[in-house]
């Protein structure tokens, strides 16, 4: 199963490298595009859950790294909830 990393920029300008065990994230994000915080979190949750499910189908267990990545994104996003119109820049994919 092909893994992929992707790089994002949070509303405060900090960058983060994220992980997915599947290329499914390419169906949800476009490099260079900016997403509203809530939209980014929701798309991440959907894509990474699908990726984890694909691992489960192939190997019989969920991908703890993908599930951990969801938790990390949700936790970090919570820091920006009170900002006015927070956005996340999807920088690129790293294959």
Range of the domain at 27: 4-94
The rounded distance, in Å, linking the Cα atoms of 23 and 54 is: 10
Given a cut of 90, whether residue 95 has pLDDT beyond it is: no
What confidence tens digit (pLDDT) does each residue in 22-77 have? 999 999 999 999 999 999 999 999 999 999 999 999 999 999 999 999 999 999 99
Given a cut of 80, whether residue 7 has pLDDT beyond it is: yes
What does the pLDDT read at residue 48?
Answer: 98
pLDDT band at 1, cuts 50/70/90?
confident
What does the pLDDT read at residue 35?
Answer: 98
Quote the number of domains for the chain: 1
């Amino acid at each position: 199963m092909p893994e992929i990393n992707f790089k994002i920029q949070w509303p405060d300008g900090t960058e983060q490298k994220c992980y997915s065990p599947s290329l499914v994230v390419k169906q949800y994000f476009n490099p260079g595009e900016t997403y509203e915080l809530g939209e980014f979190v929701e798309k991440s949750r959907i894509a990474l859950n699908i990726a984890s499910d694909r691992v489960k189908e192939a190997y019989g267990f969920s991908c703890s790294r993908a599930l951990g990545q969801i938790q990390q994104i949700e936790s970090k996003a919570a820091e920006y909830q009170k900002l006015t119109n927070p956005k996340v820049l999807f920088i690129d994919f790293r294959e």
